[in-house]
Chain A
Amino acid sequence: MREAARASSGARVDLLLIAEMVQPGSRVLDVGSGDGELLELLATTRGCDARGIELSREGVNAGVARGLAVIQGDADIDLADYPDNAFDYVILSQTIQATRRPKWVLEQMLRVGSRAIVSFPNFGFWRMRLDLLINGKMPSTENLPYRWHDTPNIHFCTIRDFVDLVDEVGAGIERAVALDASGHPVRFNLPWAVWNLLGEQAVFLLSRKG
């Protein structure tokens, strides 16, 4: 979906961050696996049994050609078909804003996996706020170049909104990292309000409560 800052390895920074949150050797389901970049990273560097769900046939083809297990499907529907606790981690990378039922998807993720990792673009990022304030138009950035009427993203949220949703589904936050516009973690252990302003995107590691 996006070509954010890349580390020297060539992988997207947020993907490296996600991979680092995953215990080696885990069973992982990547929802919206794209061309399989994260799946391959998890399989090769973390020794994971990594599976993917991807909406586009091009993405499925790319993943299969990489030797990965990728199922063509729609997160909004197909997560219901997976048994409870089938995975250690269910990952949703830069996709939650494109789902029709984000809350349901998050609940399903925490049913299918004991942990969920979600990364998303933060609509509360200061540049977004400024854009809307000054131009009075829906923000369009390098990483989110779509126009309002022609975008796969239908449920934008801010970091604050997401934290509320996590509360609502009764999940716990084990780790949260906000990345600034250049892909670096927002440095200090700052309050949510500051993260929400400075984070261009965020990565959350969630666990089922109780």
Chain B
Amino acid sequence: MSDSDTTLGEIRAFEPARGEADHPHSAIMRFGADKPLQLDAGGVLTPFQIAYQTYGTLNAARSNAILICHALSGDQHVANVHPVTGKPGWWETLVGPGKPIDTDRYFVIGTNVIGGCMGSTGPSSLNPASGKAYGLDLPILTIRDMVRAQAMLVDQLGIEKLLAVVGGSMGGMQVLQWAASYPERVFAAFPIATAARHSAQNIAFHEVGRQAIMADPEWRGGRYLAEGSSPRRGLSVARMAAHITYMSDSSLHRKFGRRLQDRDGHTFSFDADFQVESYLRHQGEAFVDRFDANSYLYMTRAMDYFDLAADYGGVLANAFKATKTRFCLVSFTSDWLFTTADSRNIVHALNAAGAPVSFAEIESDKGHDAFLLDEPEFFAITRGFIDAAARAVGVS
């Protein structure tokens, strides 16, 4: 006991996010040996825990619950100050009192997915078998595993049917998986800027990030937490590469152009002469302070493996056969990571399955990140879709 406490203390000094791994600043649902999590990779994860936040009040009929699924680097802190960064929640633009997803009306649940590093069981959690962080001893996880764990949490919260499941990017993959795995438990599904399978190009970008992490000598075969090191450079480079894919050329150009950073001319060196360089370096550095490198490996892998059609005989429509869930999909014009064509592919499958589906392509030059930013048209359609679902269910 005292041994593991010491380990935790040491780890905190190296890795601020590590402190959240076992003792997060949020609610935790623990699942003991009686409730193991079945994994796609085979075997079970037990015991395990899910860290989550809730906002608003569950009504008497338990009919106003909305589950928010986070993207690759997100967490359960959807609409509250982040305990590590001190910054607003990642979706405070969209979720909150009077916001498009109105916490005065709806009971909103944000979870940290399995494999994360903010309190749900992940590679930085203590492995009860060894008393040290799991590292790579944690089995590979899939999007379906994440959703299976979320369903167990929703069960524990006493909610039979969710008014809506909402999420963008990797969160959108979870929304699709929810609708496929538990159609009777999802009244409305809102997958944003996502795809039914991860493309080869996206897998390629992820591989660059993973290789950057694993090439860092401080990664130490994934045992860095137990050995008191931290692959900061590798994770930072992974984030820098990924961050480029979240923006568009025009948004990068508008923000930075070829402007120089704190200097009048080129230094003719490899310093960060350009503003865009120091911006990326800053993004990479800031990410290291709140995210765990192994979690990054596990989550990118989960996205890479995601191919919903493959789970249903290669026909995506079969994933949604006879579904009663109503869908609304949104894409953004300048998103080249998850394109409008990706969303349309899902729309076609839903049409073929006879599912009620809406779709809008939002004009934006902000790239994939648009779904996290202030986009009035996106907010309008979100509010419209969620409120119409609430009316249909009879939520006042």
Contacts of B358 in A (CB 8 A): 60, 63-64, 68-71
Closest beta carbon of chain A to B190's beta carbon, Å: 10
A101 within 8 A of B: no
The complex places the Cα of A72 from the Cα of B347 at a distance, in Å, of 10
Residue of B nearest to A70 (CB): B358
Chain B residues 351-370 with CB under 8 Å of chain A are 351-352, 354, 356-363
Contacts of A65 in B (CB 8 A): 380-381, 383-385, 387-388
The complex places the Cα of A61 from the Cα of B383 at a distance, in Å, of 10
B391 within 8 A of A: yes
Closest beta carbon of chain B to A58's beta carbon, Å: 9
Decide if A67 touches B380 in the complex (CB within 8 Å).
no
B392 within 8 A of A: yes
A57 within 8 A of B: yes
Decide if A61 touches B388 in the complex (CB within 8 Å).
no
Decide if A67 touches B359 in the complex (CB within 8 Å).
no
Selected contact of B351 from candidates A60, A67, A81, CB within 8 Å: A81
The complex places the Cα of A73 from the Cα of B357 at a distance, in Å, of 13
Decide if A51 touches B356 in the complex (CB within 8 Å).
yes
Q: How many residues of A contact B (CB 8 A)?
A: 22
Decide if A69 touches B362 in the complex (CB within 8 Å).
no
The complex places the Cα of A51 from the Cα of B347 at a distance, in Å, of 12
B252 within 8 A of A: no
B243 within 8 A of A: no
B66 within 8 A of A: no
Closest beta carbon of chain B to A174's beta carbon, Å: 25
Contacts of B359 in A (CB 8 A): 60, 70-73
The complex places the Cα of A74 from the Cα of B351 at a distance, in Å, of 15
Decide if A69 touches B326 in the complex (CB within 8 Å).
yes
Decide if B361 touches A57 in the complex (CB within 8 Å).
yes
A82 within 8 A of B: yes
Decide if B348 touches A81 in the complex (CB within 8 Å).
yes
Decide if B388 touches A67 in the complex (CB within 8 Å).
yes
The complex places the Cα of A72 from the Cα of B357 at a distance, in Å, of 11
Closest beta carbon of chain B to A62's beta carbon, Å: 8
Whether A57 contacts B377 in the complex (CB less than 8 A), given A69-B358, A71-B359, A72-B359, comes out as: yes
The complex places the Cα of A41 from the Cα of B385 at a distance, in Å, of 19
Of the A-B pairs whose beta carbons lie under 8 Å apart in the complex, a sample of 23, sorted by A's number, is A27-B354, A57-B360, A57-B363, A57-B377, A62-B384, A63-B358, A64-B358, A64-B381, A64-B385, A65-B380, A65-B383, A65-B384, A65-B385, A67-B389, A67-B391, A69-B357, A71-B347, A71-B359, A72-B360, A81-B348, A82-B351, A83-B351, A83-B352
